[in-house]
Amino acid sequence: MTRLVAIHPDNPQPRLLVQAAEFVREGALVALPTDSCYALGCRLGDKEALDRIRSIRQMDERHHLTLMVRDLSQIATYARVDNTQYRLLKAATPGSYVFILEGSKELPRRVLHPKRKTIGLRIPDHPVALALLEELGEPLLTCTLQLPGDEAPLTEGWEIQDQLDGQVDWILDAGYCGTEPTTVIDLTGSAPQLVRAGRGPLTPFALE
């Protein structure tokens, strides 16, 4: 049975964040709001929860997952970042971007792209997502909550519960969250490459 929890979008209730973080540590799969749209999230090292995400999204191991972190200080732990990449990240975060970067040895192989050994990294600009990451004290492994065959992500808590009741454990319902996904930028080459245009502006990367 999926638990739908109404959480304030700007001032999330601390007791709900404590409960949600505790459930994530115990293996829960959560739907959470971000500054682009709702996402599915679980603990980085939780293989069972990761398998549930892949089952819901019907995606294979070649689909880039996104590691959601609370600030830039965590990125160096999970990705290899040079000075140029860091300056770009600093200029554009937090925000509606996912950056494809080379994963570090701290990441389980199963969460990396099997050939490129890369992963998406993201610092969201949403009070609920940031507060949950702060309470959890570690990153969340995430992906956009867009179901196979749908043209847009799910965007209301009740809609998520209606579609995924019993498949996710917690829904942090902060109200309407938008349907435009993140902008995805590949930073593994000599210059930033646009993978997907989304909510994040392209100006900081001279890609317009």
Domains of the chain, first to last: 3-205 (3.90.870.10)
DSSP 10: S
The pLDDT of residue 208 is above 80: no
Phi, psi dihedral angles at 135 (to 5 degrees): -65, -40
pLDDT per position as a tens digit, 92-110: 999 999 999 999 988 888 8
Residue 95 in contact with residue 70, Cβ under 8 Å?
no
pLDDT per position as a tens digit, 78-88: 999 999 999 99
* Entry pTM: 0.93
Across 116-120, average pLDDT? 92
Whole-angstrom distance, CA of residue 101 vs CA of residue 186: 7
Q: Which two tokens stand for residue 193?
A: 């490459």
